[in-house]
Amino acid sequence: MADSFDLGEPPQPAKAEAYRVLARKYRPQTFSELIGQDAMVQTLGNAIKRDRLAHAFLMTGVRGVGKTSTARLIAKALNCVGPDGQGGPTIDPCGQCEPCRAIAEGRHIDVIEMDAASHTGVDDVREIIEASRYAAVAARFKIYIVDEVHMLSKNAFNALLKTLEEPPAHVKFLFATTEVNKVPITVLSRCQRFDLRRITAEKLAAHFAAVCEKEGVVAEPEALALIARAAEGSARDGLSILDQAIAHAGLEGQGVAADAVRQMLGLSDRGAVRDLFALLLAGDSAAALASLRRQYNYGVDPQAVLRALLETVHGITLAKVGAGEDPAQALEERAARTDWATRLSFPVLHRLWQLMLKGHDEVAHAVLPIEAAEMALLRVIHASQLPDPGDLARRLADGTAPAGPAPTLPAAPPTPGPVAQAPALPPTFAALVALLGDRTHLLLAERLKNCASVVRYAPPELVLSNARPIPGGMMDELAPALRDTTGAKWTVTLENAPGALTLVEAAKAAETAERDAVLATPLVRAALEAFPDAVLEGWTPPQRNTA
C-alpha cells in the first residue's frame, strides 16, 4: 500500500490591500509634513523645549487644513519616548516607538478621540471627567481629542469648565472646531488657541505634484493649479479632487489633463472667460449672450461664469496697482490682464466689479439662473449710459446739466444776468473720448477706443466708418451721451468709407514706431550687430497725452 503524504493546505492567493484614498494615505505623520502652518509649529516647538506646555489646546480653521491631524501630532509629540525608549517630549516624534505607532493607528489606550457631534450631552462629558482622575496607563500624558467641540451642548460645556481650568497634571485636552464663534468664551479663555491658516494655492499645487510623483501619475501643472484653486485652502478637499481626477483620467499613463479637470469640475474655460470679457468691453450684446449660452450648454454653471468674470476684474485691478503675479496663472491669462490693466481706468474697473457682483448675487437666488445671468451681462454692456449721481449733482449745481422737459406751468421771467458762454468742444476725437471717460460714460469710452474708426471729426459732427463692426446699441447711445457730456447737439452718422485707426490701434502703432526708431539708432544697431542674440528690454515708450 502506497504511503500517503499530508501536503497541508494549498497556498492561498495573497489578499489585495484595500485601497486607501489619497486624503487618508497622505495625512501628515510629522510636523514637517504639515503644510502652511509654520507659525504654529514654531510656537509648539518652543513650548516643548522650554517645558511650557498648556493643559488645553484649541485648533480652529476651515475644513481640511489639518486640525485633527495636528491634535494627533501633538499627542505623539508629548508621548514619544524615542527609538531607545528614553526620549522625552519633542517636536519631532520618532514615529517608531510604540506610543507613536499606536497613536498613528488610533489604538493607544491613553489617547481618547471623541466626536462631539455624536457625544453632545452632559453624560458624555461626565465620563471624561471621571476618567481623567486616573493616571495614564502606558503613556506620559492622558490626552483627550474632541473633534468639532462646538457641537457640545451648553450644559456639557458648563460641566467641563472646572476640569478644563484645573485638570490633573497628567491630562491634556486637544479641541478642534471649524466654528470657533460657537465655542463659549469661558472655554476659549481656558485654552491655548491656534488658528490654522488656509493653505495657499501655490503650496497645495506643489503638494499635489509631490503626491502624483509618489503615485506614479503624470499631471499637467495647470491641472494641479485648477485643483488647488477648487480646494479653497483645504488639503483634504484638494486630495479628494485629485483622487477623482486620477480616476477620471482612466487608463494608466494617460495623465491628468487640465481640460479634463476643468470639465470634471464644471469650471468655465479661462480662454472663454477672456473672450466674454472682451465682448462685454466692446459692447457686443449678441456675441456676449451667445458666448454665455455656449458655456451654459457645456454644463458650466451661470454663477461660475459671473464668478470667473469677477476674478478677472479683480486680477486686472491687482495688475494695475502693481501687485505680484500669480505663478500658477497661465501666461496667456497674465498677458491679457496686463494689457487690460493699461487700458482700463480705476473707475471703469470699480463699476464693472459692482455690476458683476450684483449680477452674481442675483443669479445665486434666481429662479431662472441663465436668464438672470444674461440680464446681468446686458446691464454691464449698457451701463455706460447710466448717469453717475454725484457727477449729475455737480453738473446741476454749475448749470451744465442737459436740458430736461419743459415745465407744465409757466415759469417766472428769468432774472437778467451774465450770459454763460457755451463750452468749447474737444478739438480732437481722442480728447472727446477722454472727456466721456472722465464723466459718466466710462464703458462707452472704452468701446470707442477699441471700435471707433473716424472718417471725419468736425465738432459737433462725427462720422464713423461702417467698414468696422460697430457694437450693437453704441450708435443709439453715442449722440445722447455726447450731448450730455458737452452740452451741444451732435450729429453722429456712419459712412461706408475707410476710416482712421482706432485709438487703441493708433497707440500700439505709435509705440511700435518709437521702438523701431530706437532700434534704428546707430548705437543700438551696432550693439545688435555685435551681439545678434541681444534683445531690447527695459524700454518703456514715453507717455503721450492722447487728449
How high does pLDDT run on average in the chain?
82
Answer yes or no: do 58 and 43 share one domain: yes
Q: What is the CATH number of the domain that holds 74?
A: 3.40.50.300
Domain carrying residue 475: 429-500
Answer yes or no: do 32 and 175 share one domain: yes
Answer yes or no: do 158 and 64 share one domain: yes
Answer yes or no: do 60 and 153 share one domain: yes
Answer yes or no: do 182 and 322 share one domain: no
Q: What is the CATH number of the domain that holds 286?
A: 1.20.272.10
* Phi, psi angle pair for 462, to nearest 5°: -135, 120
Q: What is the CATH number of the domain that holds 246?
A: 1.10.8.60
State residue 232's pLDDT score. 81
Kindly provide the b/e burial profile for residues 126-150, where b requires at least 16 CB atoms within 10 angstroms of the residue's own CB: eebeeebeeebeebbbbbbbbbbbb
Helix (H) or strand (E) holding 114: strand 111-115
Residue 1 inside a domain? The answer is no
Q: Which residues contact 274 (CB under 8 A, 6 or more apart)?
A: 312, 332, 333, 336
Residue 394 inside a domain? The answer is no
Q: What is the pLDDT of residues 10-26, one digit of tens each?
A: 665 655 567 788 888 88
Answer yes or no: do 179 and 36 share one domain: yes
Residue 35 pLDDT > 70, yes or no?
Answer: yes
CB atoms within 10 A of CB 175: 27
Task: Tell which of 320, 353, 381 closes a domain.
Answer: 381
Residue 232 inside a domain? The answer is yes
Question: Band of the pLDDT at 541, cuts 50, 70, 90?
Answer: low
Residues in the chain: 547
Question: Whole-angstrom Cα distance, residue 146 to residue 107?
Answer: 16
Q: What is the pLDDT of residues 339-374, one digit of tens each?
A: 898 888 888 888 899 999 999 999 999 999 999 999
Answer yes or no: do 62 and 142 share one domain: yes
* Phi, psi angle pair for 112, to nearest 5°: -105, 120
Answer yes or no: do 275 and 261 share one domain: no
Task: Tell which of 365, 381, 397 closes a domain.
Answer: 381
Answer yes or no: do 182 and 33 share one domain: yes
Domain count for the chain, please give it: 4
State residue 233's pLDDT score. 84
Task: Tell which of 381, 398, 413 closes a domain.
Answer: 381
Residue 523 inside a domain? The answer is no
Answer yes or no: do 208 and 159 share one domain: no
Answer yes or no: do 168 and 227 share one domain: no
Answer yes or no: do 357 and 483 share one domain: no
Q: What is the pLDDT of residues 381-419, one digit of tens each?
A: 887 555 555 555 566 666 555 544 443 333 444 444 544
Residue 403 inside a domain? The answer is no
